[in-house]
Structure 1
Amino acid sequence: MKMKKSLLALCLSAGLLANLPGVSLADVNIVPQDLSAAPAIPASTLQQLQWTPVSQNKAHTTNLATGGQSVNVGEIIGPVAAYSVPANIGELTITLTSQVEKNTVFAPNVLVLDQNLKPAAYFPSSFFTYQEPGVMSDNRLEGTFKLTPALGQQKLYLLVFTTSNDTKQTTTMVDPAKAYAKGNGNAIPDIPDPIATHGTTGTLKLRAKTSSGSSILVGPLFGSSGPDPVTVGNTAAPASTYAAPAPAATYTAPVGATAAAAAPAEKSEPILNDTESYYNQAIKQAVDKGDVDKALKLLNEAERLGSTSARKTFISSVKGKG
């Protein structure tokens, strides 16, 4: 007599976006199903978390300073974000973005758990790479990966956190003046790029959408010799399924951090001196060549970045005093 067995598996693949211009690639040596570097979090700790449900095809934003939770395990530091995603709608493409704010960014790690809160895959912070700002996006760390739940899975859980080692690292960004010059086909100025330090809080955006295409299995993609999907846990049907509590409690920041979060938003940091000098010089050169339209565009771009001297430079240049 044959017994039908339901797989408790996750077939995982990393969407590395290799064909998109201007996108940094994640470390291709990462093997998501290798959990040796993942923190060992007790089941009791995971069960106490409030898992925020994420609807498909809708972006969910989390401010960790006010909406994070606490997990005091190993190298994990600061608040964490806990999400639950539906696992009965087919393959999921998950995109996680961590925004750079005031030259500080949260370097995320993601631990993927099955419906019984058993670790299934781990994406370290090196998977989430720096992406240059675009028309609709700012400086950020970002990574995209695919999850294909096995038959019988109802929910998957994603725990997002950073570590004490991550906070010792930095991210080199691209100076706005360089990005502007590159986008307009101008000579790229020789000025230093800004550095973003890694902090314990930040703003995360998570989007889970269904994929119509077939899944690429992690095993073959990352060098596994076998063609079979990655199997997580045993192949027998589970006796019970973990039911996550409804989201309610949030991370309570220390007194100082709470006061800072409640304070009015500060003005954005002023433009870097080198960047402002670049724009002022470019405005003068454009006016000297009689290209007032270009000078106006440079003026608008400089003021958008926070310049306080570009307008004065433009006026004085037009009057012949630049």
Structure 2
Amino acid sequence: MKRILFSSLGLMALLGCSSAIDVSNQVSSVELANISATSSVQWNDVSVPSAFTFNFDEHSQRLASADINSPVAGFSFEPVEQTINIALTAPMKNLSVFAPSLALYDQDYRLLKVFKSTAFGYDRNDFIKGEVLSGEVSITLPLTTTRVNAVIFTTPEDIAKTTTIIHPAKAMAIAKRNDPPAIADPVVRHSDIGSVNVKLSTPNSFSLLPENNKAPSTPVAAVDPDLNQAVMVAPQPESSTFYLNAIEKAVDAGDIPKALALLEEAKTLKIEGAQEAFVKAINSKK
């Protein structure tokens, strides 16, 4: 039950408070079910910022091109800023997970960037995110880009791999600062069936707090467009105090979604001790 709680809370934190929108990679037309050109992908028009989920199964559109041979999900958006952040989260279910890669194209379907599955990994030390493959990437778009077409896919090489995850009993023991039990860790197989949560944002749109509750602003570091990395920010002392106190108060008040939102912001700002403050506050309520 506790594992389900932590997994659910982690998913809420990853998606943030952006309103979910309807998207689909399910096709009813035989002609569109199997395609060979990127331009034929079923595009879902979305906005920035936003959050949505794709489900991959036997009814998903499949692309077989020189670069991609996989079930695919496509979304398309107009860049509101030159730098765009894209976070992907693939939940593990029944010891199976869709290992995502991401390809970005411009309005003329010219390839801008490919983020391989290594950009979306499993962190056995992040108990808030839980049993997921996840990561956030950033791209600084050419000034000539008027639209971005994004394709989520997997590869035969990734499907042949597995991910070993920490046993929930071990995770709970470590979170409580107890010695973990000697239990074998589960092995999750990679598959072309599963789901992927997507979150779009810009360096100025990640905040989940009301305007009057935001911590003092901090400068955003320059981003190398050729690196698969999230936007980095420099934490200030007053920001650290604000977030640590706010996380504890939110948990104490029973407002876990707000506490998780604060925790995600704190992690984005690279504030030390935020996760420890959250776990301590959770444990103190038991």
Please report the TM-score for the alignment, with normalisation by the length of structure 2. Answer: 0.57
Paired position in structure 2 for 1:11:
none
Separation in 1, partners of 2:113, 2:77: 15
Instruction: Give unpaired runs (5+ residues) of structure 1.
Output: 1-42, 223-296, 302-322
Shift in Å, 1:141: 0.5
Separation in 1, partners of 2:90, 2:43: 19
How big is each residue's C-alpha offset from its partner over 1:147-195, in whole Å with a ceiling of 9 and x where there is no partner?
2222232211211111111111000101000000000011111111000
| Selected match of 2:223 from 179, 191, 216 | 216
| Equivalence map 1:68-83=2 (5 Å) | 68-73=60-65, 76-83=68-75
How big is each residue's C-alpha offset from its partner over 1:269-295, in whole Å with a ceiling of 9 and x where there is no partner?
xxxxxxxxxxxxxxxxxxxxxxxxxxx
Contact 2:48 2:79 in 1 (8 A): no
**CA shift in 2, pair 1:57/1:67, >3 Å:** farther
Paired position in structure 2 for 1:64:
56
Paired position in structure 2 for 1:120:
112
Counterpart amino acid of 2:74? A
Separation in 1, partners of 2:77, 2:108: 13
3-state SS of 1:218 partner = coil
- If asked which structure has higher relative contact order (CA below 8 Å, sep 6+), I would say 1
Paired position in structure 2 for 1:164:
156
Contact 1:175 1:194 in 2 (8 A): yes
Separation in 1, partners of 2:65, 2:134: 25
3-state SS of 1:205 partner = strand
Counterpart amino acid of 2:54? T
| Equivalence map 1:160-309=2 (5 Å) | 160-212=152-204, 213=220, 215-219=222-226
**CA shift in 2, pair 1:155/1:66, >3 Å:** farther
Contact 2:46 2:77 in 1 (8 A): yes
Separation in 2, partners of 1:215, 1:83: 26
How big is each residue's C-alpha offset from its partner over 1:12-67, in whole Å with a ceiling of 9 and x where there is no partner?
xxxxxxxxxxxxxxxxxxxxxxxxxxxxxxx9711111111222222111111277
Instruction: Give unpaired runs (5+ residues) of structure 2.
Output: 1-34, 205-219, 229-282
Contact 2:89 2:198 in 1 (8 A): yes
Separation in 1, partners of 2:118, 2:94: 21
Separation in 1, partners of 2:44, 2:111: 18
Shift in Å, 1:214: 5.1
3-state SS of 1:192 partner = coil
Separation in 2, partners of 1:176, 1:79: 31
Separation in 1, partners of 2:176, 2:110: 50
Paired position in structure 2 for 1:271:
none
Counterpart amino acid of 1:60? F
Paired position in structure 2 for 1:140:
132
Q: How many residues align?
A: 180
Please report the TM-score for the alignment, with normalisation by the length of structure 1. Answer: 0.51
3-state SS of 1:96 partner = strand
Paired position in structure 2 for 1:149:
141
Separation in 2, partners of 1:69, 1:218: 30
Shift in Å, 1:202: 0.8
Contact 1:84 1:157 in 2 (8 A): yes
Separation in 1, partners of 2:148, 2:131: 29
- Percent identity over paired residues: 29
Once superposed, what is the RMSD of the aligned Cα atoms?
2.6
Separation in 1, partners of 2:225, 2:142: 14
| Selected match of 1:108 from 84, 92, 100 | 100
Which structure dedicates a bigger proportion of its chain to helix? 2
Counterpart amino acid of 2:77? V
Separation in 2, partners of 1:191, 1:64: 32
Paired position in structure 2 for 1:243:
none
3-state SS of 2:37 partner = helix
Shift in Å, 1:134: 3.7
